[in-house]
Structure 1
Amino acid sequence: MEKSELKHGIKEWLLRIDLVDRRPVEIIALNFGLFEPYGLELIGSKIYNPEDDDWACEEDFIPTERTCQGITFDDNQTWQEILSMVYSIIEELSTELSELELLRVPHITTGFSDGDLLLVK
């Protein structure tokens, strides 16, 4: 899937979440978690600790549509390439969709569940 198609799919997913699920005000961090065989999920947490990525295990907010359906990654891409592309897309969308209540949190990260998280904002 090309980056533009992937971005469109993620954007549509975020717009649906924002329409259906109200993010509780106490949620201060979102994590766009990548998992194998390469999917993307979203959780929110009441805590954020830049020194300890375990904060992202606190699933204080789970949207109804937790995983982004319909996105696929090229089998020839490495996990590093996938992470870099998803990071770039989430960074772009957090600016583009800054008016969405869902994204009005101080902290947004992405990364694989068994690796370090990358700070988007």
Structure 2
Amino acid sequence: MTDKIFNDWLDKILITEKPSADIVAYYFGIIETSNGYEMYLVGSNEFDADDDDWACNADFEPKDKYLKLGQAGADWEEILSEIKQNIENYIQKPDYKNSFLEKAKAIATGFDEGDLYRIK
């Protein structure tokens, strides 16, 4: 997935959505479907650095929370690596500054059935 596709999707969410102030952490979840991979964004009103279960909370769900990645048959480790890189690149952009993501205690990604990888 290109940075542009990811950035356009996330920019739209950051412009149109206003999570409540009690949302303190965000999770970019990854799932594998019969058509390839999808990513989604949710926010949690709790965060514990020692317990990854916070990422299971969906206290904030943007209207367009899903991004279809396609890439059926691609290696899951490659998909995870690309998404981690997309997020890391995004948080270096000016659009990230003053966004609700910038104010978060934590930002993480990972497959729903796997390990959590903290970006922030």
Question: What is the TM-score when the length of structure 1 is the normalising length?
Answer: 0.86
The reply on whether 1:106 has 2:99 as its aligned counterpart is no
1:12 maps to amino acid: D
Gaps of 5+ in 1: none
**Residue in 1 that maps onto 2:117:** 118
The reply on whether 1:84 has 2:81 as its aligned counterpart is yes
Spell out the pairing of 1:19-58 with structure 2 (5 A cutoff). Answer: 19-37=15-33, 38-58=37-57
SS in structure 2 of the partner of residue 101 of structure 1: coil
Gaps of 5+ in 2: none
Post-superposition CA distance 1:50-95 (Å, at most 9, x none): 22221111111000111024x33263x3111110111011111022
SS in structure 2 of the partner of residue 62 of structure 1: coil
Identity %: 32
Residues 34, 110 of structure 1: 8 Å contact kept:
yes
SS in structure 1 of the partner of residue 64 of structure 2: coil
2:111 maps to amino acid: F
Q: Distance in 2 between matches of 1:83 and 1:14?
A: 17
RMSD, aligned α-carbons: 1.5
- What is the aligned residue count? 115
Indicate the structure with greater helix content.
Answer: 1
Indicate the structure with greater strand content.
Answer: 2
Query: Cα distance, 1:100 vs. partner?
Result: 4.7
SS in structure 2 of the partner of residue 43 of structure 1: strand
Q: Segments of 4+ in structure 1 off by > 4 A?
A: none
